[in-house]
Structure 1
Amino acid sequence: MTKKPAVMIQGTGSNVGKSVLVAGLARAFVRRGLSVQPFKPQNMSNNAAVTDDGGEIGRAQALQARGAKIATSVHMNPVLLKPESDCGSQIIVQGKRFGTLKASEFGRHKNSLLQYVMESFAQVESKADLVIVEGAGSPAEINLRSGDIANMGFAEAADIPVVLCGDIDRGGVIASLVGTHNVLLEDEAKRIKAFVVNKFRGDPLLFESGVKAVEERTQWPSLGVIPWFHRATDLPAEDALDLDAGQHKGAVKIVVPVISRIANFDDLDPLRMEENVTLDFVLPGEVIPGDADVVLLPGTKSTIADLAFFRAQGWDIDLYAHVRRGGQVLGICGGYQMLGKVISDPDGIEGAPGEVEGLGLLDVKTKLNSDKQTTLKTGRDLLRDTDVTGYEIHVGRTQGPDCARPLLDLGSHVDGAISESGLVSGCYLHGLFGSDTYRAAFLNGFGVASKLNYEARVEGALDALADHLEEHMDLDKLWEIAQIRSL
């Protein structure tokens, strides 16, 4: 097969804006008439998306596919690492669970994973006029270079030119760009064809001398200095560090305890954007405030470990007091499992086999198993009599008397449970707050109106991002760089 135009956006570090940059570039080049495919060989995130072909990828790649106006595929992110502990992760390969490995073990398996990465890249490449690849972390992490599939190892295997992105907002951008050049091997440094400076606050012309300093020391041309994009908070966040961005102070107060392995936290994005909602994130060591209307227990990559974490903060005591005051509780996925009486893990899915006592606010029991559900769903909220859409991505089955009062009808099955008092409920469906009709009905229960069209908000932000990049980045030069591979 003839090589297609492709370019890889690598960064001087994590969280420099690579994911958002690729999403915006995808939208910009689609508007220029090209068929664009995003690709990330290896990602590490507990914020996963269910794909149209029934697997898992990083949430950022789902956003990038949306930027490209195409369906999602497991091949857009063939290796996804989902941290389960400080030293181990679940490995998702081409959308399905591959196993759980410690960090030291993963290093020995990286070479064997390259074949899957290249298979997936071939699938993506076959459908594209342009492939925009996102790196992970930084190519300057030369201690991880052996067997690398995330940055230069993949770029070399697929013969793809690279553009390096630096983040000026965190400081030291000249040192990070020049330092990356200095630690790379000569052939790797030559693979980088240009650089871009991201997240500049103020007049980009003020950094002209800085651009020249980098160009002189690296011999890489600049593709531009990109000002801070204020509508980035309208896009789904990939990193839990961004959870406090863009909050409003509204009439309804929804409180979210930030557990240690919080997952699929983009569930919260639509609530964060609602003008009539105060969304408070309670950090470890803080107390759940007594004036909350709803305490929302989010998803987690490790339910049993995060239940212990929850109790260690004293949040269980706060939660019981909240319910005694007549406050509502909603648990999603792992949060739903925590609300039950028992969580059993006989096969050691999350660690050592065993059984733990849950929070006991729902009369249900959960048994974890290896049969992982990853499906897109549409259905109806039975409590509020409204349509809902979302996705399931979980292990385990929950049963018990409160399941006789299910929260959702998803067609093939009912999902969730409601307590006898009606104050506590839970379900497995992620993404339900992205449904404008469901969210409006949910908020109406507290006497406030929804003012948000979530889908239109995200689409508008992607178009505005594409405009932003057209204005501040040399996309014609970027297209020339991408075509180097196909010559």
Structure 2
Amino acid sequence: MAGLMLQGTGSDVGKSVLVAGLCRAAANRGLRVLPFKPQNMSNNAAVTPEGGEIGRAQALQAIAARAPLHVDMNPVLLKPQADRTSQLIVHGKVRGTLGAANFREARRPLLGEVLESYRRLEARCDLVLVEGAGSPAEINLRSGDIANMGFARTAGVPVVLAGDIDRGGVIAAVVGTRAVIDPEDAAMIHGFIINKFRGDPALFTDGYEAIERLSGWRGFGVLPWEPAVAQLPSEDAVILERGLGAKPGKLLVACPILPRIANFDDLDPLRQESGVDVAMIPPGTPIPAEAALIVLPGSKATIADMAFLRTQGWDIDVLAHHRRGGAVLGICGGYQMLGRSIADPHGIEGPPGEVAGLGLLDVTTVLAGRKTLQQVEGTAMNAPFTGYEMHMGVTEGPDAARPFARLAQGRADGAIGRDGRTFGTYCHGLLAKPGLRGALLARIGAQSDGFDNDARVDAALDALAETMERHLDIDGLLALAGVTL
């Protein structure tokens, strides 16, 4: 079967988007295509139909391929819990916790399971498109690697290297990769793509030819900056550090950037509303008093992020906002923070302990039991929605008698405060459809544009694929992968 791997000259050079665009281009050509990432590190994840979890980027790529999500698409997922520890997810299920010191050795045995997933995908399709992680030029991480060349060489999958010209230095990035990696690794790379070009491509002709000459690799094209990419969810929290500045005349929705923020793509549909400005609030910055809605996002380490929220003084900002009549929405970990307390008696997230929450909802949370992973649908604010749950813990209390949502699975979800302005839910992705998003915005005095965000994402993938067909040698990439044209 056919396979092709895209690796990058660094993190955030656009590998995830390039694989998604190629998935859609291949699907539009009538190929059965599936995405694959051997090892991912992200707190943005998606739930598969069988009740596992994979990186958000692979979920987007599956949508691009018009294929159901499956745990084989991302067999190893690391979810950072602290600066030196990550939760290890293998084939969609929690397998334990890894520290930075033991990760290199712990990952070696995982290569076999990674290859098993890849071979299963191969058997189901015409083409597997593989995304690398970080860069193969990180030669300090090469020993025991399962994410880049360690996988490519073992699986025999040819590689194309992607470089981001928007950040500058792309000639050195591509040629420098060739210079520092092992010759046998370099032999796996058959070409390069220049990504995110702005302006007239003719101005880069000399640079493009220089890369070909100095690296010995052929170019597969220069992809221009594609505005439709802004409609796609981002997996990498790096995007939050760039600031999503306030827009004059918009109704403000504020979300603090917690150290272990998770599934922040929940906010993407709000960001696309013409009458709304979503401001991601960085550490050291107060939550603006003019915010109409504060969203407390998901968290991979709720107790630690609750403590961080207090050190930033954001607890004072949230409570002051609430006293002024503002609305607050807590999603997953953010829901837990809105309650009276969060207890972790078994040390699931870190040392056993308990912390006080914000007390805006009369509920308490105990982090115990099995992790809930399931796709859901239901009704909230008299509007239907679809989404997914991905959380540890049980939240109970008087305010849970006023649930935020009624799920089709026959149970209630979340809580609404007595004031009718404080909402907590365990459901991610619930704002993608226009009904519930419109109802929420109406509560804070805004009118929704009424779009379906899932449809917007699908249209953006088509636009991206069309741009790639015009500017990249797709025939050459497919031939390299082994697809018979």
Normalising by the smaller structure, the TM-score range is over 0.9
Aligned counterpart, 1:308? 307
Alpha-carbon displacement from aligned partner over 1:273-329 (angstroms, at most 9, x marks no partner):
000112111111111111111111000000000001100000111111111111111
The answer to whether structure 1 residue 89 and structure 2 residue 86 are counterparts is: yes
Aligned counterpart, 2:425? 427
Among 416, 419, 425, the alignment partner of 1:418 is 416
Aligned counterpart, 2:392? 395
Aligned counterpart, 1:120? 117
- How many angstroms does 1:240 deviate by? 2.0
Aligned counterpart, 1:74? 71
Divergent runs of 4+, >3 A: 243-251
- Please say which of residues 453-462 and 5-14 is displaced more in the overlay: 453-462
Aligned counterpart, 1:257? 256
Distance in 2 between the 1:107 and 1:187 partners?
21
The answer to whether structure 1 residue 200 and structure 2 residue 202 are counterparts is: no
Alpha-carbon displacement from aligned partner over 1:180-227 (angstroms, at most 9, x marks no partner):
111111121111011111111111111111111111111100001111
RMSD of the TM alignment (CA)?
1.5
- Please say which of residues 411-420 and 95-104 is displaced more in the overlay: 411-420
Distance in 2 between the 1:472 and 1:236 partners?
23
Q: Is the contact between residue 380 and residue 410 of structure 1 (CA under 8 Å) also seen in structure 2?
A: yes
Q: Is the contact between residue 244 and residue 278 of structure 2 (CA under 8 Å) also seen in structure 1?
A: no
Among 238, 245, 255, the alignment partner of 1:241 is 238
Alpha-carbon displacement from aligned partner over 1:14-61 (angstroms, at most 9, x marks no partner):
000000000000000111111001000000100001112211000000
Distance in 1 between the 2:274 and 2:263 partners?
22
Aligned counterpart, 2:436? 438
Q: Is the contact between residue 339 and residue 362 of structure 1 (CA under 8 Å) also seen in structure 2?
A: yes
1:81 is matched by which residue type in structure 2? L
Aligned counterpart, 1:227? 224
Q: Is the contact between residue 248 and residue 274 of structure 1 (CA under 8 Å) also seen in structure 2?
A: no
Paired residue secondary structure (1:70): coil
Distance in 2 between the 1:132 and 1:254 partners?
37
Aligned counterpart, 2:403? 406
Kindly tell me: are residues 478 and 281 of structure 1, through their superposed partners in 2, closer, same or farther at Cα, counting changes over 3 Å? Answer: same
Kindly tell me: are residues 246 and 227 of structure 1, through their superposed partners in 2, closer, same or farther at Cα, counting changes over 3 Å? Answer: farther
Alpha-carbon displacement from aligned partner over 1:405-460 (angstroms, at most 9, x marks no partner):
11111133101111111221201000011122111121122343211231221111
Alpha-carbon displacement from aligned partner over 1:108-163 (angstroms, at most 9, x marks no partner):
11111111101111111111101100000000111111110000000011100000
Aligned counterpart, 1:62? 59
Distance in 2 between the 1:190 and 1:99 partners?
36
Paired residue secondary structure (1:432): coil
- How many angstroms does 1:480 deviate by? 1.1
Paired residue secondary structure (1:296): strand
Q: Is the contact between residue 343 and residue 367 of structure 1 (CA under 8 Å) also seen in structure 2?
A: yes
Aligned counterpart, 1:338? 337
Number of aligned positions between the proteins: 481
1:462 is matched by which residue type in structure 2? L
The answer to whether structure 1 residue 131 and structure 2 residue 128 are counterparts is: yes
Aligned counterpart, 2:38? 41
Distance in 2 between the 1:247 and 1:453 partners?
24
1:87 is matched by which residue type in structure 2? R
- How many angstroms does 1:12 deviate by? 0.5
Aligned counterpart, 2:151? 154
Q: Is the contact between residue 215 and residue 221 of structure 1 (CA under 8 Å) also seen in structure 2?
A: yes
- How many angstroms does 1:370 deviate by? 4.3
Residue segments in structure 2 that go unaligned for 5+ positions in a row? none
Aligned counterpart, 2:353? 354
- How many angstroms does 1:241 deviate by? 2.5
TM-score, normalising length: structure 1: 0.97
Among 2, 5, 10, the alignment partner of 1:13 is 10
1:191 is matched by which residue type in structure 2? M
After superposition, residues 452-471 of structure 1 pair within 5 angstroms as 452-471=451-470
Q: Is the contact between residue 262 and residue 298 of structure 1 (CA under 8 Å) also seen in structure 2?
A: yes
Aligned counterpart, 1:176? 173
1:146 is matched by which residue type in structure 2? S
The answer to whether structure 1 residue 141 and structure 2 residue 138 are counterparts is: yes
Distance in 2 between the 1:246 and 1:62 partners?
28
Distance in 1 between the 2:355 and 2:445 partners?
38
2:425 is matched by which residue type in structure 1? C
- How many angstroms does 1:350 deviate by? 0.6
The answer to whether structure 1 residue 99 and structure 2 residue 101 are counterparts is: no
Distance in 1 between the 2:109 and 2:452 partners?
44
Aligned counterpart, 1:50? 47
Q: How many percent identity over aligned positions? A: 56
Q: Is the contact between residue 88 and residue 101 of structure 1 (CA under 8 Å) also seen in structure 2?
A: yes
Residue segments in structure 1 that go unaligned for 5+ positions in a row? none
Aligned counterpart, 2:323? 324
2:5 is matched by which residue type in structure 1? M
- How many angstroms does 1:355 deviate by? 1.1
Distance in 1 between the 2:14 and 2:58 partners?
13
Q: Is the contact between residue 246 and residue 272 of structure 1 (CA under 8 Å) also seen in structure 2?
A: no
Aligned counterpart, 1:373? 372
Distance in 1 between the 2:112 and 2:377 partners?
35
Aligned counterpart, 1:281? 280
Q: Is the contact between residue 248 and residue 273 of structure 1 (CA under 8 Å) also seen in structure 2?
A: no
Paired residue secondary structure (1:349): coil
Q: Is the contact between residue 244 and residue 280 of structure 2 (CA under 8 Å) also seen in structure 1?
A: no
